[in-house]
Structure 1
Amino acid sequence: MPNSLANLFGPVGHESVADTIVHHIEELIVSGVLKDGTRLPSERALAEEMKVSRPKVREALKRLEENGLIIVRHGEGNFVAPLVGSAMSPALVDLYARHVTAFEDYLEFRREQESFAAMLAAERATEEDREILRDIVHELEVAHEKGDAEASRDADVRFHAAIVDASHNSLMVHTMAAIYQLMARNVFYNRDFLRAIDGTGEMLMAQHKAIADAIISGQPELASDAASDHIDFVARSFRVGRAQDRREIVSRRRKALLSLRA
């Protein structure tokens, strides 16, 4: 952990130590490296890696808390505060879940944002970003081969979030983090349903690999198109599934009516 902390925080100068610490952590939050709910290292670990005294770290953390950027949970540590908030209130989530047009709006929003994010990622991704994508694609492949739905769902969410991170657009990083919270909770997105439409999940796997390959190889237009195609597949699958549900409801009612006549 200390080595990774050195890469993340690093030493600071001593002109105005507390101010420098505050500024550095603020930059990590603005850039999306530190996101809502991220736990910060302990005061001791921060002091060691930044090569400053613990009182200076404590002073900086106090300022960040006063500015509403971190929250202190006694006995647990310091965490990045909920800056973006939830994408929607629970009541609105329930309302959207009952109305088909809301889901279509959600997909429309994701299509444009993820297509743009994939394009930027293909242009801006660092080798570390590409390595993260390769690792997650490998996780998706392993989960797919094992038929592990939970692992697939988790890797799926992290895959899309990693692409947005690789866009290096801080506003998009924070905004989409709230949207992906809904994915993680299986709101507006049911991967099991998509696998049922696909049959085996092969198409989903191929789509994710196509997006990743385009980003890793630095092809912005191809990455953008691949991301759009993926969301289009989700939208088509949703419409096919709804149509099938309606047919099954009609068939059950017809069967029930026939049984009454018998």
Structure 2
Amino acid sequence: MAFEKLVFEKIDHETVVDTVVRQIEDLIVTGVLKEGTKLPPERELAETMDVSRQKIREALKRLEDQNLLRVRHGEGSYIAALTGTALSPAMIDLYARHQSAFYDYLEYRREQEGFAAALASERATKVDRDIILDTLEKLELAQKNRDSKASKEQDIKFHSVIVDASHNSTLIHTMASIYELTKRGIFYNRDYLHTIDGSGEKLLQQHKDIGMAIVEGRAEDAQIAARTHIDFVEKSFRAGHEGSKREALAKKRQALIGS
């Protein structure tokens, strides 16, 4: 058999629609297009990709049939829900009632975020590093202005952009679901950490340690810093929980003494 027949395979000619679909699918898989992202109008997509609006329309219809897009009439096309929720509503309520489950959640985050930070140190592009530094600046500004809402938003964004910088599609999508729960304040209240930390300077410094280690390409330091941060969160909540129990017992003793 001839050499070329052993080494090379026939190439199927993709249609224009197939090419458009594959490009959008690639952007979804890699986490560039995230759940809820609105796509540009058909006309803009057609101009950007240099294809007809009819082909764009066909591609979007195929993606919608695959449940990757949701079309809102009169509004546009949006990336559909990709990962669902990490836990069912019933399980979330169960977590709220069982303290040990909360620490399991932190344990999971500790390992995944340490892994993500190490990967980001090795894989982050200049754009990724710029985004991390910009997010750190906004987090520090929110801290300086004592803006708890902006501080919470930038905190979650900081962890998210690190995961994005890992360039691991599985991490990107699974952690997006976890961060969505954190964003909704289901697992813990970030403001509570500030009452333990005082000014919040410890938390800010921990984020800086993680970010700078990644930007400077220090994978081991980044992993350690990420894990140390979650360890601090766990230790703080354990201390707070124990303190609340002691306070409740003290009040009961006080009530008995006063009776």
TM-score (norm 1): 0.92
Q: Name 1:6's counterpart in structure 2.
A: none
Q: Name 1:241's counterpart in structure 2.
A: 240
Q: Name 1:5's counterpart in structure 2.
A: none
- Structure 2 residue runs without a partner (length 5+): 1-12
Give per-residue Cα distances to partners, 1:117-147, cap 9 Å, x unaligned.
0000000000000011011000110000011
Kindly name which structure, 1 or 2, has the bigger radius of gyration based on alpha carbons.
2
| TM superposition shift of 1:257 | 2.4
Q: Name 2:158's counterpart in structure 1.
A: 159
Alignment identity in percent? Answer: 58
Question: In the aligned structure 2, how far is the partner of 1:257 from the partner of 1:40?
Answer: 65
1:211 correspondence with 2:210: yes
Q: Name 1:58's counterpart in structure 2.
A: 57
Paired residues, number: 247
Q: Name 1:8's counterpart in structure 2.
A: none
| TM superposition shift of 1:76 | 1.8
Question: In the aligned structure 2, how far is the partner of 1:157 from the partner of 1:26?
Answer: 26
Q: Name 1:41's counterpart in structure 2.
A: 40
Aligned-CA RMSD value: 1.1
Question: In the aligned structure 2, how far is the partner of 1:237 from the partner of 1:48?
Answer: 53
**Structure 1 consecutive aligned stretches of length 4 or more whose deviation exceeds 6 Å:** none
Give per-residue Cα distances to partners, 1:146-184, cap 9 Å, x unaligned.
111111000000000000000000011000000000111
Matches within 5 A, 1:159-238: 159-238=158-237
Question: In the aligned structure 1, how far is the partner of 2:74 from the partner of 2:94?
Answer: 37
Q: Equivalent residue of 1:78, what SS? A: strand
| TM superposition shift of 1:44 | 1.3
Question: In the aligned structure 2, how far is the partner of 1:26 from the partner of 1:116?
Answer: 25
Q: Name 2:66's counterpart in structure 1.
A: 67
- Structure 1 residue runs without a partner (length 5+): 1-13
| TM superposition shift of 1:247 | 1.1
Q: Name 2:104's counterpart in structure 1.
A: 105
Q: Equivalent residue of 1:173, what SS? A: helix
Give per-residue Cα distances to partners, 1:198-257, cap 9 Å, x unaligned.
111000000000000000000100000000000000000010000111011112222222
1:29 correspondence with 2:39: no
| TM superposition shift of 1:15 | 5.9
1:139 correspondence with 2:130: no
1:93 correspondence with 2:92: yes
Q: Name 2:7's counterpart in structure 1.
A: none
What one-letter code is carried by the residue in structure 2 that aligns with 1:110? R
Q: Equivalent residue of 1:85, what SS? A: coil
Question: In the aligned structure 2, how far is the partner of 1:28 from the partner of 1:91?
Answer: 33
What one-letter code is carried by the residue in structure 1 that aligns with 2:54? P
TM-score (norm 2): 0.93
